[in-house]
């Protein structure tokens, strides 16, 4: 299947073609220099979705070649696009000062990927999400048989895996969990898309309430080349908040899985405050669910139980 090249695109909400969408579930994925784990992400998720839309941009590695090969294997479920305009990195002055409908905006790039989905239910993947298949399947089954609430954004999370100097896998102590209400499954609508914020691309929920659906993936960002910070172009953007995040990551301790779950357990004050704040309530639900989801004695045991193929993923299981 040929890869479609896109240049100069500018998003309009009508591009979402809501009335033309068909029953089913689409995932969309944006990637830059994602060759480390994009194949594992696609392979671990594709059986659950009716399609995955993958859009790549400014890749200096073999991401394009990997996606082209996978598109041939998984056609027509995997559709690949090459977005050729330079996209200003999040955290940069370029992003802050670029309008959200400009071809160089991360907002526009994200909305392009969203606009290419064709099914009524949509979810965003990142190129470093290794699926927890049981969680993904449960969520997709709920949408397909009508049990999922169409008035909600069904948010999900993953644990941030890192590797210590001894080569062993652990949980990133400064930031154990990825996903705090910014990603989820939703029914497509014209007012649900990305908007410009000087700090990032803001996902507009269109009035959907947020509910925590579960832990559906392992987040492999910190196992990427450059610790997952390369795409922020920090040498050119030293003021970026991601430069500060990189410093925290480099200075932080790693946690065992039981230590991470214990650290995440909400305190009484946090649980009381959650009654008044929607986002905090989601975080409390997320953090309370960690121990129930990961009662295992160690991380490798949890990976074996929840994602049995993890040992075959290059860069993850080959330590």
pLDDT tens digits for 177-214? 999 998 999 999 999 999 999 998 999 999 999 999 99
pLDDT at 43: 98
Is the pLDDT at 267 greater than 90? The verdict is no
d(CA 301, CA 34): 27
Whole-number Å distance between alpha carbons of 228 and 240? 14
Angstrom distance (rounded) from CA 292 to CA 284: 13
Distance CA 22, CA 32 (A): 29
pLDDT on residue 280: 84
CATH of domain 4-159+178-248: 3.90.550
Q: What tens digit of pLDDT does each residue of 21-51 get?
A: 999 999 999 999 999 999 999 999 999 999 9
Whether the CA torsion 69, 72, 73, 74 is positive or negative: it is positive
pLDDT at 278 over 80: no
pLDDT in tens, 89-106: 999 999 999 999 999 999
Q: Is the pLDDT of residue 1 over 70?
A: no
Helix, strand or coil, per DSSP, at residue 120? strand
In angstroms, what CA-CA distances link 315 with 2, 131, 219, 251, 311? 28, 16, 13, 22, 9
Residue for token pair 């670029």:
98
CB 56 within 8 A of CB 3: no
Convert the pLDDT of each residue in 219-255 to its tens digit.
Answer: 999 999 999 999 999 999 999 999 999 999 998 899 9
Q: Checking DSSP bridges between strand 119-125 and strand 184-187, what pairing results, if any?
A: antiparallel
Query: Does the pLDDT value for residue 279 go beyond 90?
Result: no
Cβ–Cβ < 8 Å for 169, 254 = no
């Amino acid at each position: 299947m040929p890869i479609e090249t896109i240049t100069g695109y500018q998003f309009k909400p009508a591009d979402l073609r809501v009335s033309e969408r068909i029953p089913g579930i689409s995932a969309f994925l944006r990637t830059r220099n994602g060759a480390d784990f994009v194949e594992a992400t696609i392979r671990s998720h594709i059986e659950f979705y009716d399609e995955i839309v993958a859009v790549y941009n400014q890749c200096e590695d073999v991401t394009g070649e990997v996606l082209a090969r996978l598109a041939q294997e998984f056609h027509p479920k995997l559709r690949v696009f090459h977005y050729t305009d330079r996209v200003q990195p999040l955290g940069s002055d370029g992003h802050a000062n670029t309008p959200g409908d400009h071809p160089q905006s991360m907002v526009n790039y994200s909305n392009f990927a969203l606009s290419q989905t064709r099914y009524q239910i949509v979810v965003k993947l990142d190129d470093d999400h290794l699926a927890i298949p049981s969680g993904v399947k449960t969520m997709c089954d709920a949408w397909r048989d009508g049990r999922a609430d169409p008035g909600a954004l069904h948010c999900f999370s993953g644990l941030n895996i890192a590797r210590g100097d001894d080569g062993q896998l652990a949980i990133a102590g400064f930031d154990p969990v990825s996903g705090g209400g910014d990603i989820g499954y939703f029914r497509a609508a014209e007012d649900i898309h990305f908007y410009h914020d000087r700090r990032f691309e803001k996902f507009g929920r269109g009035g959907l309430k947020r509910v925590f659906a579960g832990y559906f993936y392992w987040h492999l960002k910190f196992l990427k080349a450059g610790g997952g910070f390369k795409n922020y172009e920090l040498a050119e953007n030293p003021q970026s908040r991601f430069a500060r995040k990189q410093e925290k990551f480099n200075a932080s301790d790693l946690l065992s899985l039981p230590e991470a779950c214990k650290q995440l357990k909400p305190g009484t004050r946090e649980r009381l405050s959650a009654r008044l704040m929607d986002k905090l309530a989601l975080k409390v639900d997320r953090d309370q669910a960690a121990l129930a989801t990961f009662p295992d004695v160690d991380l490798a045991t949890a990976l074996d139980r929840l994602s049995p193929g993890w040992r075959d993923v290059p860069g993850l299981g080959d330590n």
